[in-house]
Each structure stands twice: as C-alpha cells, then as structure tokens.
Structure 1
C-alpha cells in the first residue's frame, strides 16, 4: 500500500515506524525540518517538508495514487482540511486525528465521509475509554472489548496460589470444564518470550496471561485469579488535560467520587466550573503532603494523565506507597511498558499505540474489523469477518491447518460471543478473534480473503 502520513509528531512518527515494518510505501510530511530529519535517520521511509494542506505539495507526493492518507498533526483544523483536500485529489481512504469530542459524538448526524473523511480518531477519547475499561475490570492490567463486550480480551499476572499454576492448558481445561474463557498468549516472567499456548503449554507463576472471555467468563477469571476485585468508588485524577477532563466527566456520570488535581491555576479554575460534580484542586500531584491532605490512602484508584510521562509515573509510585491498590499512568514512551511491572505500576497506557490499533485495521488484508497491539508483547489480536468463500469457513477449526503461531480465541455469531474450540465450524459473516505473531499475520489473512 502507498500511505501518506501528515504530521511527524509522536503519533505520526510511531505510525510511520510500525507501518514501515509492514513493507508499505510510506511518505511522511511535516513543516518541521528537524522532525523529518530525525524520522529520516531512523526509518526506511520518504520524508517531504511542506504544509499538509498545500494542494501543490500533495500532488507532488502523488496523493492521487495513494491508498491511505492519515492526518495526525497537532492541529485538528489542519487534519480535517488535509483529509478533505486529499480525498478530492484522489486518495482512496482518509483518516483524521481530532481532539474535539463533538465531532465523534455527532458523527451519526454529520456524514463526514461525504465531506471526504472516512474515519475520525480521537486519541484522547481512545485513552479515556481505555481508562474507564480498566477501572471497570480492576483485576486485570490490560483489557480490550470486541463488539461492545460480546468478547473481551483481559490480561492478568498469575500468582503462586492461582489454580492454573503448574498445570497445562489441557489439564486446566479438564479441571475447569465449562469455563467461558480461553488463553491466547502468554509472556513468561522476566523474559521476552511470548508463547501462543497449545494443549501442552504449562502455566507458571508470574506468567502474564491474555484470555479471550465471554461476559460471564470475566467474573470466573476474577474468582480464579485470587485477586480481590474491590469495586472502584473513589478515584483521584492527576492532570487536567483533555483526557483528565473527559475521564472525570464520564466517571462522575457513573456516580463515582472524583478528585482532580491540576498544576496550572488557571486551568484548575476552569475545570472547577466545567466539572461541578468533581472536587478540583490546584496543586502538584507529586506533592506527598498534598496527597496525604486529600486522603490518597482512601482512594481506590489513581489515574495520572498529565503531559509528562515521568510525572505520571512518579505520582503513581507515591500513590502506591500510600496504599492505593490501582494505579494507571499515561506515558509517551512505549519503552516504559517493559518496566511497568518492575516499578510497581499496574497499568500504563499510550496514545500512540491506541491510535495505531485503530488505524491498523485499514492496512490489513481481508476484512479486519478490530485490532489491538499488546503492550510489550510480540503478538497482535485481530478481529476478522468471515465471508462465504473464505478458507476459514470450509472445515472445523481443528482441520484447517491454521498457522501454529496463531490461535482462534473466539467467534461472534448473531451478536453472541462464543469460545471456539477445535470442533467448531466458522460460518459466513462470523466475526473471528485471532491472536498471532506479527510474522504470521499474512498467513492468517489468507484464511479470510
């Protein structure tokens, strides 16, 4: 595919990096020469210095022959304008990064595709949704819902007392017959080893295990994980960014007790007016005395979403030292993911990865409905739609000769989630959730073409 990305900031650079691994033809454009020089020195892509809304420049980038135009500059107006112009000039698909949630809230009323924008992506909205999901499923340190929760991916670290430990997948399935979940990928503790589990794969203490589960399977995993699923009622949010504001507003609507600390006095006053149901405090979230004054030890969760990764991490560590059981930190550097368990923070979230998850489904072959890249794990989870002539529909799963480095975790049929075992036969229009190594994706895609 020929893909043009406008904006060489953190999101644009990260997308360019990931997409360049897929052997696509990537052109990265930006007005900032230094950003382009950095990208050019690190990535095997073409860079062009110009304004993304310049018609002449877009023609120079051969926009008329592009398969996908992605506008992820820091300017919402630039992204929208660039997508409209690019579509008129011949780009097959366009994606715009936006920050104003009014656009996504009213996308059913306003047909943006008629204007030339095929998809709107709000990294702030994606991050807010991820935070809410993590607070709802507090036992788990990663979650992702498919089709509104018909199937859910959850991840947890196995403690010594977990009933899975020491047993193979096959043995566990025999002991816990009728359980509504399936392990799809395992990362061994203190290693970079990623395993697509088979029947003889043995669970070990400290394993980070990812499951595909039905709605009732989530509660079963809660019980079997040996972790107390304490309901969340009191939440402290550090940082009055757009993510902090939207998270506070959404959580207040669920009748949670929200305290928000913002370092900028003017912004704190503004937030106090915007969030009448939350307690807004002007101060530094790293200030131990302030946190003690606000009874941080009585909080069920602390969410740190300031503009600095280090501040978010340090604030969460302070909260952990005061006994807060659930901490979530927003970080910019994906390298921090490999350190999260060692430094004691429950969950890190990254806007770049969340945006990539949404955008990548436009890159894959076959009809990819959803995709998520797992944090610090060499595996991806994709949701495909099966068609009448798809190879995946021809035989039961056990007879398909499906790639060994891939596993079918579940199927959504007629709006109902199903854990798909070997005898299950996939039908036309089924939505199939698959976990696999990146190098195996092309083989998996052939089953759905």
Structure 2
C-alpha cells in the first residue's frame, strides 16, 4: 500500500475571520456557502436588494445594499475591523476599486476577480501596485483546467500539485480493464508503476481506500503520481495518453479565448463557432492561427458541416448551461470526441451527475477553491501553509497540499509513529522537486510540501491531520 493512513478524532475549530464579500452573483454566493460552513463571520454587499435579502436569510449573515466601492458603505460594513475583502462583481474595474478603497481604509487583505484579458496580462503588476493578496480569473482558470484534460483526454479530471510535478487524475475503470478485481495492495507488483489510489466513488459512496480495497469496473477512481509516472500508468492499463490533435469550441467568450490560446500554443488545431460577427472579427485578430466561424453553434447542420463527427475534442463554452449540456449530449451521439462541459449554475446537480457529460468543469468552484485555500492559510500557524486545495467527488473529499516552514510535532518523526485522523491519506511528499509516495518509515521535513486527501473538511494547517 502506498501513502499512509491511520485513525483518530477531531480537534476544535480555530476562530473564523471577518470577511466582506462584494457581489452576490454565482461566485459570491458560492463563497458565502463555502466560507459560512467554515465558521467565518461574513457580510455581503450588493446593489440588488432582493439578492442581498435572499442570501442573508439563507445563510443567516449580515447584508448591506449599496455600492461596494463606496467609502461609507464599507464603513457601515465594518471595514476597519475586517480581515479580508473579496470583490467578485461583474465589473473588473469595480472589483479593483473596491479593493483599493478597502486597502486605504482598513488593515485588511483584498482579493479581486478580474476577467478581462488585458488586465489578466497585468495581474502581477496590479497585485503588487494595489497591494492585493490575490487576483482571480475564473475564465482563465476554467480554460487551464480544460486544457489539462485535453492534454490527457482519457481522464475525467486532471489537477496539478507541487507546481506541476505531481498530478491527481480521475477516470472510470472500464469493463475488462486490468484494474477490475485487483486489490490495491497488489497494484505495485502487477502494474510496476509507483502510483497511489487516493479516492474511489462506487454506487454514490466515496471511499479513501486501504490496501485491502478491491477495485471494480465502473469505479470512478482518483490516482496521484508524478506527472511522468501518471502517464506511464494510464498507458500501461490501456488508456490513450496522447493529447488531442484538434478541438471545436462553441462560443467565443473569454473562456474560449483563453482555452484556444492555451491549445494553439502547444500545436493543437482550434475551430471556434461564434454567433456574434463583431466578436468573430476580434477573435480573428487575437487568434490568427485559429479558424473562426460566424454561425449558430447549436445548429446541427452547421456542426455537421464543420466536421463534428470526426473532431477529436469538443468544448461547448456558451453562457447557457442548458445549451452546453444539450450540445455535449448531441456530440456523444454523433462523435467519439472527448467532450468537456462547462456549467456555471449548479441547480439540478443530481440530474447532471446522471448524464453522460464527459468531463465537467465549474468555474465558480475553481474560483472559490483558490480563495478558500487563501482564507484557510490565513488561519494557519506559522509552521505550515496551504499551497493548493481541490475538492473531489462533489465536495465530499478534499485534496490539500501543505508547505512545511518550521519544525513541529509532525516533522522528523516516522509516519508510522504519528497518530493520524481516520479517513485520511498522506499521498505524497514533495522534497526538492522529487515526488515521494510515502511509507511508514518516511518522515516529513522542513521545506517539504505534503499532499493530504481526506473526507474531513476545513483543514487549515498540516497539524490538523493529527488525531
């Protein structure tokens, strides 16, 4: 068995932060939902009184109707005693202004959502000059996630850890596969690749498996390994590991631009179908190597004419979830293309889970995970900090990468001698760029990053793994 697990109890939760969230759209609502669960004191600000009232009542938090960039509104919200302001309105400029005002008035950290490509190119400059903790771009992050999947199309999800040195890959075990009926403890002997199975979903239940867990066809499993070994493992068990040669994107918005640029940079051919003629002209200038078609991406005849039946990958990025879902289902019927479905809202999640949508990406969750990782890091002690956070299996499992800054009660001790919480797996230790899948003799050292997968939620600090 690779990785390390043990058993134990929970510890008391640390005191929450005071957080102001400006903007009650999809991302703002998701942040309220996630951060209120983690015990933070939240105040929301939005110009829409109905939205403010709905969210304030639903999550039992304080709401203020007004302009979040207004000095008086921020004072009413208690900016002077606030730890963090997060501005996620629809306007990049308003978000930057909210954070700038807050930094002048209060001694708080500030996070702004900025989506326009012009500003995104200058994100580092803006962050430094305005003193922001983070600039987050949901469309860019969604495009990066989609690109990672298209680079390894046999996977449902590909998440990156240790600055790209390690990957967490999710896929379904097909019928007749070598993994069907294999006990996890036998994996290394039979597969000859150093990988770790860190999560399994079967019949709606999620498991963090021990060595005696037997894999079955139809299981949705997540494995972690170094980037090179992850591909070797998938190839060994019969999966295609080459990136796609071409893709068709429906919709020419910001996410489509970011994804197309990412793919063209590595030699993948891109065709974009966009309804708005002016936007097509803009994209032709921005993406000279892409083929830009002005037309209705939901027109079946047009899709057929443009080669949907033989394209290698298909990504609907319209602003309407229902259109994206129907386009994916249609593509499944007429093509063998790898499909990625972008979903912004999450109503009818149970229904969506039962549809054959291929890989599904939720930009609002990608955004909220980056922000929650930062918020948890603010609550942590000085000896460790959160580097990366991903939610797995519909938010029932968390994968967290911690960096170890100082010695503590968990460093320099063999893992077998640590009393760890139940339902928790230490997946890898990244030591100077080398990925170690640990056994009981290994120990955590200062300077390492350590990845943990657990069904517990709200870990702020690596010491939270202890019983």
CA change 1:319–1:391 in 2 (3 A) is same
Matches within 5 A, 1:392-411: 392-411=410-429
CA contact (8 A) 1:166 1:203 kept: yes
CA contact (8 A) 1:88 1:116 kept: no
Deviation at 1:240, TM superposition (A): 0.5
Asked whether 1:180 is paired with 2:201, we answer no
CA distance in 1, matches of 2:84, 2:100: 13
Deviation at 1:309, TM superposition (A): 0.6
Matches within 5 A, 1:145-294: 145-177=160-192, 179-188=193-202, 190-191=203-204, 193-294=205-306
CA contact (8 A) 1:159 1:226 kept: no
Deviates more, 1:203-212 or 1:337-346: 337-346
Deviates more, 1:140-149 or 1:97-106: 97-106
Deviation at 1:323, TM superposition (A): 1.5
Instruction: Provide the secondary structure at the position in 2 that maps to 1:232.
Output: coil
Deviation at 1:326, TM superposition (A): 0.3
CA distance in 2, matches of 1:45, 1:161: 52
CA distance in 1, matches of 2:224, 2:243: 22
1:117 matched to which residue of 2?
132
Deviation at 1:83, TM superposition (A): 0.7
Runs of 5+ consecutive residues of structure 2 not aligned to the other structure: 1-16
CA distance in 1, matches of 2:180, 2:320: 38
Runs of 5+ consecutive residues of structure 1 not aligned to the other structure: none
CA contact (8 A) 1:392 1:426 kept: yes
CA distance in 2, matches of 1:368, 1:155: 22
TM-score calculated relative to the size of structure 2: 0.90
1:363 matched to which residue of 2?
375
CA contact (8 A) 2:388 2:401 kept: yes
CA distance in 2, matches of 1:405, 1:21: 20
CA contact (8 A) 1:338 1:376 kept: no
Asked whether 1:99 is paired with 2:115, we answer yes
CA distance in 2, matches of 1:235, 1:111: 33
CA distance in 1, matches of 2:229, 2:173: 17
CA distance in 2, matches of 1:279, 1:265: 14
1:320 matched to which residue of 2?
332
- Provide, for residues 200-229 of structure 1, a one-character-per-residue CA deviation record: whole Å limited to 9, x for no partner: 222122111111111222222322443334
- Report which structure shows greater RCO (CA 8 Å, sep ≥6): 2
CA distance in 2, matches of 1:170, 1:241: 47
CA change 1:150–1:336 in 2 (3 A) is farther
CA change 1:142–1:340 in 2 (3 A) is farther
CA contact (8 A) 1:194 1:377 kept: no
* Aligned CA-pair RMSD: 2.0
Asked whether 1:8 is paired with 2:21, we answer no
Deviation at 1:307, TM superposition (A): 0.4
CA contact (8 A) 2:112 2:135 kept: yes
Deviation at 1:114, TM superposition (A): 4.1
CA distance in 1, matches of 2:465, 2:331: 47
Deviates more, 1:214-223 or 1:30-39: 214-223
- Provide, for residues 307-335 of structure 1, a one-character-per-residue CA deviation record: whole Å limited to 9, x for no partner: 00111111111112112330011111235
- Provide, for residues 90-131 of structure 1, a one-character-per-residue CA deviation record: whole Å limited to 9, x for no partner: 2431100001234443344x2624423121101111011111
CA contact (8 A) 1:392 1:447 kept: no
Deviation at 1:80, TM superposition (A): 0.5
CA contact (8 A) 1:268 1:280 kept: yes
- Provide, for residues 373-405 of structure 1, a one-character-per-residue CA deviation record: whole Å limited to 9, x for no partner: 125240011111123323221411222111121
TM-score calculated relative to the size of structure 1: 0.93
Instruction: Provide the secondary structure at the position in 1 that maps to 2:89.
Output: coil
Instruction: Provide the secondary structure at the position in 2 that maps to 1:320.
Output: helix
Deviates more, 1:427-436 or 1:95-104: 95-104
